[in-house]
Amino acid sequence: MENSTILIKVCMGTGGIAAGGTEVISAFEKELQAEGISAAVEKHCSVHKVGCRGFCARDVLVDVLIDGEKTTYEYIKPDMVSRIVKEHILQGEAVQEWVVKDDYRTFHEKQRKVVLSDCGEVDPEDIGSYMERGGYDALRKVLTSMTPEETIEVIKSSGLRGRGGAGFPTGLKWEFARRAPGDTKYLICNADEGDPGAFMDRSIIEGNPHSVIEGMVIGAFSMGAHRGYVYIRAEYPLAVERLRLALEQARKKGLLGEHIAGTEFSFDIKIKLGAGAFVCGEETALIASIEGKRGMPRAKPPFPAQKGLWGKPTVINNVETLANIPYIVRNGAGWFAQFGTERSKGTKVFALTGKIKNSGLIEVPLGIRLHEIVHDIGGGIEGDRKLKAVQTGGPSGGCIPAEMIEIPVDYESLAEAGSIVGSGGMVVMDETDCMVNIAKYFLEFTQAESCGKCVPCRIGTKRLLEILTRITDGRGRPGDIELLESLSNDVRAASLCGLGQTAPNPVLSTLRYFKAEYEAHVHEKRCPAGVCKNLLTYTILEEFCTGCTMCARVCPANAIVGERKTPHRIIQDICIKCGACFETCKFKAIKKG
């Protein structure tokens, strides 16, 4: 291997670091400097940190590239490094038992990576690594050979729509801001990703922050802004750090600041840390927060494009939206528009989680069937149980029932089904998930995150949560389902901002597809999925019980009695319904229901 170029890429996203990526990198560095490695190998071999490539569950993921030929290892620990170095790097023989299996290939096969195409490939802390792969070419092209109008036209004809949730056409937004009168305009990148379980924006910034910066400069040029902000959660320390570093490097290279790329155009970016309020993802609340005020939304119109930050025309774009821009400019609007459907162009990043075999970050062409995501990319349901529903769009979204698994995943189809694409959360649920409980979970979140400004959201979501809580606690009353539905509709219609207007969606969509489950809770005091504790009883089936005493031993409440080798019994008054006996019993002698 003495004359080969060897690249070792170690995943150092948040997932990679948590799994021990830092130690793995040091192990490689140490091994490569150790005795016995010839100077020639050392010269041609380098170790790089790269961002998340999506399959965090398999971290630490390591790519070994020998003359461009890639081998990927999964679940790498520091003590495995020396064998990889000895066998693979020195002798050219991959350690097959640690190489990723077929499911790694199927996980990626149906994905189409645009935004994430460089994530996992480039070193996010090195601008040169991005530039080697064509980074900042789009910016140079725009600044030196295109007018703002032409640039807007490219984005418009690409069909790119806002990836933050609402799906407003990006080019149109830029055009409104460009046409708005005034010399001072602002471009804000919304990195206040707050949906539970969502980590699309985080991974993009951690994995390839320069794509966002490049997108912002192009956007600023198009709309005529000279000052930009990235509003990012303080809870994303790694993303903030890498972004800060990327901004510095871009400034040093003359790609940000005064006279960008030697042209007349100047634009600089400031980082504004968010304090963790979900509502600050709403654009008018975000603007208030940057201005130093309490993050509360205001009524629109006037829209930010007319009157935004400090009263000036302002465009707010989501991270993923902006990260798409360099690739669209580089490859052309037509190239981008080949992905997706008639009205939903391009690809979308989703955070695929829940009861699924392969969970992680995926990027798929819009219009892909939900079935393909769940079964092909996701590898099907964990434990081979039955799929029940897929929740999309986070707390503002809804549930798509298993019967609709063939639905195309695009803005229109999901909206028709009572859900949304949203920012890209996707939670897969199986038959052991209670839909009333799921609705309650999301309401707990939105209720706590309401800013308190408008009555329907402040008190309405609280009352919705109270009704859901009593239903799942077994205290549901006749009429509760109707009340839930009517209040949900009122909160949706009467709330001020997107948070309140969409907060009832998880309730309304589960009511639409799983009403029977609500009815079982309220009328029969039964939780069909066996989740709601107060509605559960555990009983021992005498005919199966061997009297092994395992259940009695694990019961934390000492609620199980019985002689050895004779059937046991659960004392219902003492039982706390923790389910420990159910989990432990080897003879399926405990019935839940």
Which positions lie near other proteins, rule CB under 8 A?
A: 277, 279, 294, 296, 298-299, 301, 447-463, 466, 483, 487, 490, 493-496, 501
Answer whether 410's CB lies under 8 Å from 425's CB: no
Q: Which is nearer to other proteins, 358 or 495 (CB)?
A: 495
* C-alpha to C-alpha distances, 260 to 185, 253, 314, 316, 431, nearest whole angstrom: 18, 9, 21, 22, 56
CB of 450 to other proteins, least distance (A): 4
CB of 181 to other proteins, least distance (A): 16
Question: What's the rounded Cα separation, in Å, for the pair 71 and 48?
Answer: 15
CA-based end-to-end distance of the chain: 62
Q: Which is nearer to other proteins, 34 or 448 (CB)?
A: 448
- What one-letter code names the amino acid at 101? K
CB of 298 to other proteins, least distance (A): 7
Alpha-helix runs per DSSP H in 121-208: 127-132, 137-145, 148-158, 170-179, 200-207
Collapsed DSSP state (helix, strand, coil) of residue 271: strand
What are 517's two structure tokens? Answer: 């489950």
Q: List all residues 6 or more positions away from 121 whose beta carbon is below 8 Å from its beta carbon.
A: 9, 50, 133
CB of 108 to other proteins, least distance (A): 40
Q: Cis peptide before 196, with omega less than 30 degrees from 0?
A: no
Answer whether 397's CB lies under 8 Å from 420's CB: yes
Q: Cis peptide before 504, with omega less than 30 degrees from 0?
A: no
Q: Which is nearer to other proteins, 435 or 443 (CB)?
A: 443
DSSP state at residue 180: S
Q: Which is nearer to other proteins, 385 or 477 (CB)?
A: 477
CB of 234 to other proteins, least distance (A): 17
Collapsed DSSP state (helix, strand, coil) of residue 416: helix
Q: Cis peptide before 436, with omega less than 30 degrees from 0?
A: no
Q: Which is nearer to other proteins, 154 or 287 (CB)?
A: 287
CB of 491 to other proteins, least distance (A): 8
Q: Which is nearer to other proteins, 146 or 454 (CB)?
A: 454
Collapsed DSSP state (helix, strand, coil) of residue 388: strand
What are 101's two structure tokens? Answer: 């299996």
Q: Which is nearer to other proteins, 290 or 381 (CB)?
A: 290
Q: Which is nearer to other proteins, 206 or 283 (CB)?
A: 283
Q: Which is nearer to other proteins, 169 or 332 (CB)?
A: 169
- What one-letter code names the amino acid at 38? S
Question: What's the rounded Cα separation, in Å, for the pair 495 and 453?
Answer: 10
| Edge-first strand listing for the sheet containing 387-392 | 360-365, 347-354, 425-430, 387-392, 398-401
Q: Which is nearer to other proteins, 232 or 497 (CB)?
A: 497
CB of 344 to other proteins, least distance (A): 20
Q: Which is nearer to other proteins, 134 or 452 (CB)?
A: 452
Answer whether 236's CB lies under 8 Å from 52's CB: no
Answer whether 314's CB lies under 8 Å from 302's CB: no
Q: Which is nearer to other proteins, 262 or 276 (CB)?
A: 276
CB of 367 to other proteins, least distance (A): 25
Q: What is the DSSP string of 58-84?
A: GPSPEEEEETTEEEEE-S--GGGHHHI
CB of 459 to other proteins, least distance (A): 4
CB of 291 to other proteins, least distance (A): 13
CA 577 to chain centre: 33
CB of 115 to other proteins, least distance (A): 31
CB of 454 to other proteins, least distance (A): 5
Q: Pairing state of beta strands 6-11 and 360-365?
A: unpaired
